[in-house]
Each structure stands twice: as structure tokens, then as C-alpha cells.
Amino acid sequence: MVALVNAVAARKQEDREAKLSAYREWRISVPDGPIDLSQYPLSKLTETERAIVQCDATLIVELIRKRVYTAEDVLTAFVKVAIVAQDITNCLSEVCIEEAFVRARELDQHLEKTGKVVGPLHGLPVSIKDHIKIKGLDTSSGYLGWAYKNIADSDALVVKILRNAGAILYVKTQNPQTLLSLETDNNVFGRTVNPFNRNLTPGGSSGGEGALIACHGSPMGVGTDIGGSIRIPAAHCGLYGLKASVARLPHSGLLGSHDGMDAIVGCVGPLATSARDLELFCRVMLDAKPWLDEPALLEMPWKRAVESEQSLPGKLAIAVLFDDGVVAPHPPIMKALKQYKDALVHAGHDVIEWKAVDHQNGWDLIVKLYLLDGGAEYHETIRAGEEFEVPQTEWMLEHAQRRDPYTPAKIFKLNSEREAFRSKALAHWNATSQFTVSGRPVDAILCPVAPTLAPPHNTTRWWGYTSHWNLLDLPAVVFPVDRFKATESAIYSPLPSSRNDVENFIHDQWDPATYDNAPICLQLVGRRHNEEKLLAMLNVLEKAFRDNSL
């Protein structure tokens, strides 16, 4: 961890440390040597605790409801791991473990007394990304200038719904300076690292979530995504993560820059260790009718009937995107795509190739939409509280080159370009009906999450495999396929020749040793507002893959 000399940062870190030290007896020393410490936090748990933290959220709530475990048992196990996960990865920001135990005991008593759970998440510990407000906790959101100035006086809507459903809030997790980053580094708490390989980033901006859940320090986390910020940490940490369509899931009560920016809107969403946990999260959120609290949300209940595989066509039509035309992915990702493709073909699904639609233009456009004000607000917020921009902030803000803020006329023009871009992509999708056996357009697109596995710190350079779907406002889910072993690298084919500087940079980076032990994940992209169908299809895809691997 980089030592931070700033007094405010030091105080933030001491405060966090103090709250964790209260549970000193659970702490274990972390070895310095190994790059892979992902399994380390489990090493000192009891058998039962180890069983608990390896359950997914769906199973945990079932076992609490059936009184196999108490909420306190469950929280204890996850807290023990979370403390070690923090020591390994620097994934936490705020801590409210004491309050969490009070709540766990309350919930246990309630169940004991009434025989009933308070809601579908009764007793489930859930971790929350830093810039999502939890009443009573500081919300520095990665800015030193905001530290101790934003004690939340209310819960974000997603937190309120989680609480009402019986979830237990116990930690908040790290996000990067500006939030507009696919790594996780800031001047408040420093950098978060990847538990599978500490030389690599866990991704960002929900990187604290990724690192924590990968260590089994949380069964379910809440992140946000405006360019890949849920999906990249899920991918780099070997998890499931869902970015829904804009305005399907609760989004109010966040504290970040650019409040009121409409041109590109982010999404709150879950990271978890199973696909069914993503469904669980969505069901709980939409059963709460959040549109009665947050006017921007769509009145679109969770369609249980669609969620089941029975509602899908017997054979799916899937388009596979191997290369976005800008940066071809590294060999392990290409291999995973091919394996999935083979499995789908073997299972009789209708598989075609997805021809990429203008990923470079899409990136050029979305960066303009991210930085309508030329980066002014980011620069001002940083300048007000800290001395330097972290490297990924610098890289991003260079895209605007400190130009003047756009005029309304220019903003209208960019919005029109965005709609034209979306129209073109939608027509492209509809036109896949010409290439499928069924004559239907494809049901989903299978594609990389990024051109590389979790990259070394400060080297993330291409967002085009994730930000593209934000630009199009399509739901996208990330899921794990495998873990990369550098020793097996001989089987990979050589990289194609580079087409541009970014691809050059990323292809030069390819060295199997660098990525040893990094998770391999893929991404499935659905039609807008079809989150239920997307998750149902993911089940079908994973089954086909498992069956083909036997």
C-alpha cells in the first residue's frame, strides 16, 4: 500500500483501522510474498464458517430462513473474511460492523419469536460501494476534499430497499477518484489490488466490491456502472455482475460528480458469486416498486415468467463478438469465447458472428458525453481537496484536453449523434435475422468484457467492450469461465498485427506470466429492458458450457 502523508487521508485510514481493530481477535497476519492470496482469508475459519462464506446469497437466505444458521453466524463468518480481505487488497472504505451485529441479533430474535423472516434477504450481509449513501456513514466517494464532509443523512434507495428486505449493511467498499475509472485508486484510502494476483488491478470503479467478494468477504455487493464499473471488477475478480438498462433499478441517493448529467446515465447493480443471486437482487429491488420513490425509474416490474428458461425459444440464437475492430482480446479471452461458441453449437443453438458496430466511434462519442464540461468539475473537485490526480484520472481527463465546456447546441448535437448511433446498432441487431437458421434476430451477444484479463495497475487503456453497451443502453451480464494459468500459455495462437496505438500498447502487454492466476470471464448482452430474459439465457449458456466440458 502506498503511504499517504495527507493528514485527512491518514485520519480516514486510522478511523477505518480503529473500527476493524475492535475485532482484533479475528485478525490474521497476511504474508507478504505470494501474489495470490484469494484463498488465504478462508484458512483460519472454522469448518462451518468456511461453508457459510462459500454459499451464494440465495442459499444463505434459505439456510437462515430454515434456521440452519443464525444471522449472527453468517455475519461473523463474513466479517472475519472481510477484515483479512482488507489487509490483502485494501478493499474497504467505511465500516459499521458493530451496528451490523446489533441488527443481526435483532433479526435472529425476530425469527425466533415470530417464526417469520422480515423479508427475502433476512440476515444477508451486503456490501455497498462507497459513493452509495448509507445513513450515518461518511461518503467521501474517492475524493479527499469530500472526506468527513458528507455524512449521509439518509440511505440511498437501493440501501433502503435492502434494509427493508432484511439485509445487513456492514461495510462500504473502495471506489476510485472521479469514479470514471476502470481501476480503483484514490488519495483517501489508496489503491485496491486484486486478491488473485496483487500485481493486478481488481478493476473499477466498483473495485472494492470485486476484491471483497472474490475473497468471500461478502456474498453480494452493490456497485454502479456507467462505462463498465460493475462488469470490469466482476470480470477481473471472477464474479457475476449485472449492468441493467438505465432506470430499471434504483439509482437515487448516490454521491458523485456530475449530478444531473443526463447524456449518459449510470446504473446501480449487483456483484455476486452466482447468476441466481443477480436475479434475487433484481427481484427484491423491483418487488419494492422503487418507481414510487424515485420518479426517474420505469414502472416495469420484474417479470418472473420470463426469468424462467421455459419462456425462452427452445434453441437460442447467439451472436459472438470476437473482436471489436479496435483492440483484439488477448488469447485466453479468445479461447474462452471459442469454447463457449463450440459448446453452444454442440447444444444445437444457432450461433453467428456479431460484426462490431463502430466501437471506436462509440468510444469517441461517449467520452465527449462523459466530459461535457471539459472535465472542469472533476478538476475543481480534486484541486479543492488533494494534490494530485491518480494516474487513471489523468489518463481519462486528457481526453478532454481542458477544452471549454460544450454549448447547449453542441450538447444537443452530441445527443442526436448518440440516438443515431443507437438506431444504427438496433437496425444492425434486427438485421441478424438474415443470418440465423430460425430467421429470428439473435437473442443475445456473447463478447469479451475487456481486451485483457485484469491488467497491471495503471495500464487500463480500452473500455470499448463495456462502455459500448452503456452507450447503447443494453443490459449486460458478466460471468466467470475459468482462471488463467501462465504455464498453459503455450496453447495460445499468436496475436494478430496491431491496428492502432491502443491495440499496440495492449498487445505489447501480452505476456502470460503477467496475468498468472487472473480470472477469465465473458459478457452476455441482451435487448434493452430484457434483464429477465438475459439472465434466463445465461443459465442456458452456462449449462451448455458445463455439459460440453464433461
Q: Does 298 bind a second copy (CB under 8 A)?
A: yes
Nearer to a second copy, 163 or 418 (CB): 418
Tell me how far apart the alpha carbons of residues 272 and 275 are, in angstroms, rounded to a whole number.
8
Nearer to a second copy, 110 or 422 (CB): 422
Tell me how far apart the alpha carbons of residues 206 and 224 are, in angstroms, rounded to a whole number.
7
| Residue among 90, 381, 466, 530 that touches a second copy (CB under 8 A) | 530
Nearer to a second copy, 292 or 513 (CB): 292
CB distance 138 to 150 below 8 Å = yes
Q: Identify the burial level of 409 via C-beta atoms within 10 angstroms of its C-beta, where 0-12 means exposed, 13-18 middle and 19 or more buried.
A: exposed
Active site residue 229: yes
- Between 236 and 265, how does the x/- string for binding to a second copy read (CB under 8 A)? ----------------x-----xxxxxx--
Nearest to 453 by CA among 525, 524, 519, 522: 519
Nearer to a second copy, 302 or 505 (CB): 302
Name which of residues 390 to 429 contact a second copy (CB under 8 A). 405-409, 411-417, 419, 422-423, 425-426
Nearest-approach distance from CB 440 to a second copy, in angstroms: 12
Nearer to a second copy, 222 or 264 (CB): 264
- Active-site option among 181, 218, 229, 245: 229
Q: Does 51 bind a second copy (CB under 8 A)?
A: no
Q: Does 473 bind a second copy (CB under 8 A)?
A: yes
Indicate left, alpha or beta for 289 from its phi (over 0: left) and psi (-120 to 50: alpha): left
| Residue among 504, 528, 539, 548 that touches a second copy (CB under 8 A) | 528
Q: What's 486-544 look like in SS3?
A: HHHHHHCCCCCCCCCHHHHHHHHCCCHHHHCCCEEEEEEECCCCCHHHHHHHHHHHHHH
| Residue among 46, 154, 430, 500 that touches a second copy (CB under 8 A) | 430
Nearest to 1 by CA among 144, 142, 189, 237: 189
Q: Does 308 bind a second copy (CB under 8 A)?
A: no
- Measured between its terminal Cα atoms, the distance across the chain in Å is 42
CA 248 to chain centre: 16
Task: Compute the half-sphere exposure of residue 509: CA atoms within 13 Å on the CB side of its CA.
Answer: 25
Q: Does 52 bind a second copy (CB under 8 A)?
A: no
Nearest-approach distance from CB 525 to a second copy, in angstroms: 14
Name the E strands within 166-237.
168-173, 185-186, 190-191, 220-225
Annotated binding residues for substrate, written as ranges, equal 179, 205, 226-229
Give the residues lining the site for a second copy (CB under 8 A): 252, 258-263, 291-296, 298-300, 372-373, 376-377, 405-409, 411-417, 419, 422-423, 425-426, 430, 472-473, 527-530
Which residues belong to the active site? 129, 205, 229
